[in-house]
Structure 1
Amino acid sequence: MSSVRLGDLDQGRGSARRGGTPRTIARPKRSRGFRIVVALIVAAVLLGGTYGCLYFSPTFTIESVKVTGADHLTNEEMAILAAVPQGTTLLNVDTGAIEDSVVRDAWVESVRVSRLFPNTLEIAVTERKIAAVVDVAADNAKTTQMWAIASDGMWLMEIPARDSELGQSISPQIFEDADAVLHIKDVPFGLTPEVGTYCTDGNVSNALAILDGLSTELAEQVKTVSATDAASTLLTLDNGIEIAFGTAEDIRDKERICLTIMAEHPGTVAYINVRVVDRPTWRAV
């Protein structure tokens, strides 16, 4: 243990001021973290420069566009919707703009655009499906138009004649699906569908809600739906049985009653009324 007098300290300070040997001040060493930050900044600058060069170069020019999930849209229609400019690269392509353009089509429920390096752009489409074909009275009820409608109520398109010019240019899948679904008929005159809009007719919406709520067992037997008004909605099965279903309420209860009546009286039922679910009636052939 040692001690120093205050006078000695003063003398030491004085000698330093008078030209004595100065004390060495240690400089802090650069930390490892600081060196890492510098390295990252340099790497970012190099990567940015490289990306900038590639962005304006033709290195990743889009040479092919791969489309998946588009069964009701032709290649020509998808090319028009996507509208990928000639010479676009995977680095400068505006995928958001392409998605916004494609999803505007009534058939397209959702879309995702992805880059597949080195030269392919992928457009993955999820399409709406035809839930029913609505027989729409037109020309002062003198003619009938066939309109495809999706389960969410979106009007998809008017189904043209197969042998027409338009019929020859659209996807064959449209006719195949339209033939496989049921028809909603007897809709009051005045319905004016428009492609890409949602149906606002209560009678058609009620019919769609019934079809959406039925289980597969009964839904697959329905051939047509008469939608004169919601309360009088009438289902006709492929075996000829008519079901006065009414509004889209208590759907599963109404369905259960119908299936039970048909199972207990096979081959003899012609008509079932379940509009009032707790007072069902039926009539034999």
Structure 2
Amino acid sequence: MADQRKKGTPRKGTHRLSAPSPARGGRSMSMPRGGASLGRGPAGPSGKPRLSAKKPSAPARKPSLAVKRTPAPKAAARPMARPAGAHPSAAHPRQGAKPRKPIASQHPNRRSAARKPASGSPKLELKNPFVGIGAKKPSSKPAAGGAQGSAPGFLNRGGAPIGSGAAAREQHQKEGRIKLVGGVAVLICVLGLAALVAFFALRDSALFSADNVIIEPSTHVSDADISNLLTVPDGTTLLNVDLANLESQIKRDPWVESLELTREFPHTLRLTIKEQELEAFVVMSSGSLGWYLGSGGSWIEPAKIAVADGQSINDAALQKARSEGVLLITGVPATVDPQAGCAATDDVLAAVDDFRNGFSSDFSSMIVSYDASSADAISCILENGVQISLGSATNISAKEQVAQALLDKYPGQITYINVRNPSSASVRRVGSEDVTQGSGADGQAAGAGGQSSASSADSYSSEG
């Protein structure tokens, strides 16, 4: 059996595989049944290894493809620049030596050259997606208060300042207010345009026709005067009534100063007359007729002066003026021609008006009448009967001061003061203790028994 095995007799349970002849360099192999693996046994007598069957083992894993990675060549290390102020031995410290603290650079905002990326390497930039939404551009200047007031770096990444959300809300609210104001303005314009269209559509409509016109009479304007003066045109409505036309009609009565209109929808017009206030009662130099002068500076109407026995016309005119509560102006020249409803433009009346406006309210309240015979020879009479010659309407305040000083210096003793030239005024005093100051429009001093008395004249200097 051993010889047979040596000769190549196969073992029991094996199959011989045909193989190329040894002459061709082949080798015979036997495969065990059941998928047993073949292995090399000990060398035979010929020195050739034997193929022996091995016990079956676990199935072999499939070989994996392994790719050998070749590492990228490392770039040559560039020498690092030494920071400004660093010691040369800091790069190569001696053995056992203590490391030195780095010296701060004189320019802390400048970065060292070693931190700059290489020219060939790509630059990596991280962008914050929230930057630009209501946030302002971060300032490079340090915040007020130094490092203590600054926020941590992890809360301020990407360059967006802390509180940018509040700024965005404020901007949003501002835009909302602008839109609201614009909307309100547009609404007002639309409503105004609609009202204007409605007004023009209804102004001539019979829906608001003036069927009832009510005019209330005044003190000097009666219902008969209104009926004779005023005519309301046909087709008048409460929206198209011409107030200027009605006023021009009613102002033909000189007592009327203006006309006020009140609309009472839907068909009533109410007109109210405003009369002129009486300003003065003017007496002409000839005749017994006087004219009322209105507050608007226009003549109103004439009035007859009733003179009693032993009474002068000026005293009777003063009595009438005081009953009306107005100022008396006498001695007006015949060149003045009053016309009812016309403006009083005479120079003598203008001079009196200048004195009235130039005097103080206290001094004006003491004047009861003016004499306006000439624009350069205006005079006035006080309540106590003192006559003051004023002259032309110049240096009005100085003339008042001199006249008041003389009245205070000689109380109850003066009948006449001349202040045409305030620097050299003169005064006339009564010459007897039995004589008192006069009264009335003429300013005559009355003595015992009502007769006028002689008086003495004194000069007065405003400087003394």
Match of 1:74 in 2: 222
1:51 matches 2:202: yes
TM-fit CA distance, 1:184: 1.5
TM-fit CA distance, 1:145: 1.4
1:263 matches 2:411: no
Tell me, in whole angstroms, the C-alpha distance in 2 between the residues paired with 1:177 and 1:194: 23
Bigger Rg, structure 1 or 2 = 2
- 8 Å CA contact retained: 1:95, 1:114: no
Change (3 A) 1:46 1:231: closer
Q: Which of 326, 331, 342 is the matching residue for 1:181?
A: 326
SS of residue paired to 1:135: strand
Letter in 2 for 1:281: S
Tell me, in whole angstroms, the C-alpha distance in 1 between the residues paired with 2:425 and 2:211: 64
SS of residue paired to 2:393: coil
Match of 2:212 in 1: 63
1:206 matches 2:206: no
- Bigger CA drift: 237-246 or 192-201? 192-201
- 8 Å CA contact retained: 1:98, 1:113: no
- 8 Å CA contact retained: 1:62, 1:87: no
Q: Please list the CA deviations of residues 205-250 of structure 1 after superposition, one character each: whole Å capped at 9, or x if unmatched.
A: 2123323433332222222222121222121112110000112222
- Bigger CA drift: 107-116 or 263-272? 107-116
Change (3 A) 1:62 1:249: farther
Match of 1:220 in 2: 365
TM-fit CA distance, 1:154: 1.6
Match of 1:26 in 2: none
Q: Which of 396, 405, 426 is the matching residue for 1:281?
A: 426
Match of 1:122 in 2: 270
- 8 Å CA contact retained: 1:148, 1:178: no
TM-fit CA distance, 1:48: 7.1
Change (3 A) 1:47 1:179: closer
- 8 Å CA contact retained: 1:147, 1:158: yes
* Alignment coverage as a number of residue pairs: 227
Match of 2:289 in 1: 145
- 8 Å CA contact retained: 1:132, 1:183: yes
Root mean square deviation of aligned Cα: 3.6
Greater relative contact order (CA < 8 Å, ≥ 6 in sequence): 1
Q: Please list the CA deviations of residues 8-51 of structure 1 after superposition, one character each: whole Å capped at 9, or x if unmatched.
A: xxxxxxxxxxxxxxxxxxxxxxxxxxxx9xx99xx789947972
Q: Please list the CA deviations of residues 156-187 of structure 1 after superposition, one character each: whole Å capped at 9, or x if unmatched.
A: 1112479xxxxxxxxxxxx8887322321122
Instruction: Name stretches of at least 5 consecutive residues in structure 2 with no aligned partner.
Output: 1-186, 307-319, 431-464
1:156 matches 2:300: yes
> Structure 2 length normalisation: TM-score?
0.42
Change (3 A) 1:89 1:235: same
SS of residue paired to 1:217: helix
Task: Provide the identity percentage.
Answer: 29
Instruction: Name stretches of at least 5 consecutive residues in structure 1 with no aligned partner.
Output: 1-35, 163-174
Match of 1:170 in 2: none
> Structure 1 length normalisation: TM-score?
0.65
Query: Higher helix fraction: Structure 1 or Structure 2?
Result: 1
